[in-house]
């Protein structure tokens, strides 16, 4: 009906008003669109263009057109595949604990326990810390000998673990630090989801004699499935773009480099330390497309879920 009124407005003698409305509307969105175009859309286009050139950061920037050569080189590059594997491994190691542990803690904190503010503080506080603070603290905790974790292991009669340099352990160490750092985000999302479950359901459940286990199992968890899906998707997307903590622990703490370097770090190195920004752009694009495929997949999946619900 609004649309019909609009059309009537436009075709009728009020055509001027409609045009004014259009103009006003665009004036409101224009400042954002300019920023959006310059710092989001344009880099996306520029990156695609660069990926077809032998574009270098040094000197005048040799810009010979290469066609698909950057992409061909990339697919044959074992370092690219290794870095992609590290990114996926990091995602596999961080996602399950970040979702399940957050859910468990939120379920516990949502009961009538004393000092709930304190728990929210304890689990959420690390999330607001800058990544460098987090990386430096964990590098310190992971030290051999006088590192807190190893010294506790030794006092328990266990052997020391080579947390940072150990080839098989390094990524696990990064994952532990990351879980500690970011769990508060998922924890809060779950607490918000828990608040949306209507109280009546629990009252009805209690009247039917459901204990707290049954209530959790048959009321809470199913009704939280939307939140779980959201947490899962956001978590995977966040894990896939890992760079900061691994890079800082690599450069500042001797974290095993060959066992942890993720894709974004490979892009950074190719672009900014090898000065091969055309090649760096090509890696970015391949990785971007992979993330896009995942995003679209989850979008389709969530629409189907909603239709079924």
Task: Please report whether residue 237 would count as binding other proteins according to CB under 8 A.
Answer: yes
Residue given tokens 């304890």 in the structure block: 122
Report the chain's terminal Cα–Cα distance, integer Å.
29
The Cα–Cα gap between 239 and 96 comes to 11
Q: Provide, rounded to whole angstroms, the least separation between the CB of residue 215 and other proteins.
A: 7
Task: Please report whether residue 309 would count as binding other proteins according to CB under 8 A.
Answer: no
- Identify the residue among 95, 175, 253, 266 touching other proteins (CB under 8 A): 253
Q: Which is nearer to other proteins, 12 or 25 (CB)?
A: 25
Number of chain positions touching other proteins (CB under 8 A): 115
Task: Please report whether residue 199 would count as binding other proteins according to CB under 8 A.
Answer: yes
Provide the CB-side half-sphere exposure for 219 (13 A, CA).
Answer: 22
Q: Provide, rounded to whole angstroms, the least separation between the CB of residue 157 and other proteins.
A: 13
- Identify the residue among 8, 92, 108, 301 touching other proteins (CB under 8 A): 108
The Cα–Cα gap between 103 and 299 comes to 22
Window 259 to 288, contacts with other proteins (CB under 8 A): 264, 267-268, 271-272, 277, 280-281, 284-285, 287-288
Q: Provide, rounded to whole angstroms, the least separation between the CB of residue 277 and other proteins.
A: 5
User: Residues 61-100: x/- map of binding to other proteins (CB under 8 A)?
Assistant: ----------------------------------------
Q: Which is nearer to other proteins, 93 or 224 (CB)?
A: 224
Task: Please report whether residue 136 would count as binding other proteins according to CB under 8 A.
Answer: yes
Task: Please report whether residue 129 would count as binding other proteins according to CB under 8 A.
Answer: yes
Bridge partners (DSSP) listed for residue 53: 65
- Identify the residue among 4, 13, 111, 307 touching other proteins (CB under 8 A): 111
The Cα–Cα gap between 164 and 112 comes to 40
- Identify the residue among 43, 167, 221, 304 touching other proteins (CB under 8 A): 43
Task: Please report whether residue 230 would count as binding other proteins according to CB under 8 A.
Answer: yes
- Identify the residue among 14, 71, 243, 269 touching other proteins (CB under 8 A): 243
Task: Please report whether residue 22 would count as binding other proteins according to CB under 8 A.
Answer: yes
- Identify the residue among 36, 81, 85, 218 touching other proteins (CB under 8 A): 36
């Amino acid at each position: 009906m609004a649309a019909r009124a609009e059309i009537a407005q436009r075709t009728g003698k009020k055509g001027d008003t409609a045009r004014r409305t259009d103009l006003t509307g665009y004036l409101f969105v224009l400042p954002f669109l300019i920023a959006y175009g310059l710092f989001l859309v344009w880099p996306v286009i520029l990156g695609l263009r660069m990926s077809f050139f032998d574009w270098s950061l040094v000197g005048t920037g040799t810009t010979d057109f290469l066609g698909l050569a950057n992409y061909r080189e990339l697919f044959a590059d074992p370092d690219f595949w290794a870095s992609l594997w590290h990114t996926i491994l990091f995602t596999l190691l961080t996602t399950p604990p970040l979702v399940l542990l957050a859910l468990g803690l939120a379920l516990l904190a949502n009961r009538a326990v004393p000092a709930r503010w304190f728990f929210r503080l304890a689990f959420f506080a690390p999330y607001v810390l800058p990544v460098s603070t987090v990386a430096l603290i964990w590098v310190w905790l992971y030290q051999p000998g006088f590192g807190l974790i190893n010294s506790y292991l030794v006092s328990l009669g266990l052997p020391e673990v080579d947390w940072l340099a150990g080839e098989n352990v390094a990524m696990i160490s990064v994952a532990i630090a990351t879980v500690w750092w970011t769990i508060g985000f998922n924890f809060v999302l779950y607490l918000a989801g828990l608040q949306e479950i209507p109280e009546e359901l629990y009252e009805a459940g209690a009247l039917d004699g459901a204990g707290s286990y049954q209530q959790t199992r048959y009321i809470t968890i199913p009704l939280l499935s939307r939140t779980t899906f959201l947490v899962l998707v956001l978590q995977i997307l966040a894990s896939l773009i890992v760079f900061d903590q691994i890079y800082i622990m690599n450069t500042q703490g001797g974290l095993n480099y060959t066992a942890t370097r993720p894709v974004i770090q490979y892009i950074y190195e190719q672009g900014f330390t090898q000065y091969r920004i055309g090649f760096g752009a090509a890696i970015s694009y391949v990785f971007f497309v992979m993330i896009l495929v995942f995003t679209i997949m989850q979008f389709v999946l969530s629409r189907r879920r909603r239709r079924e619900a």
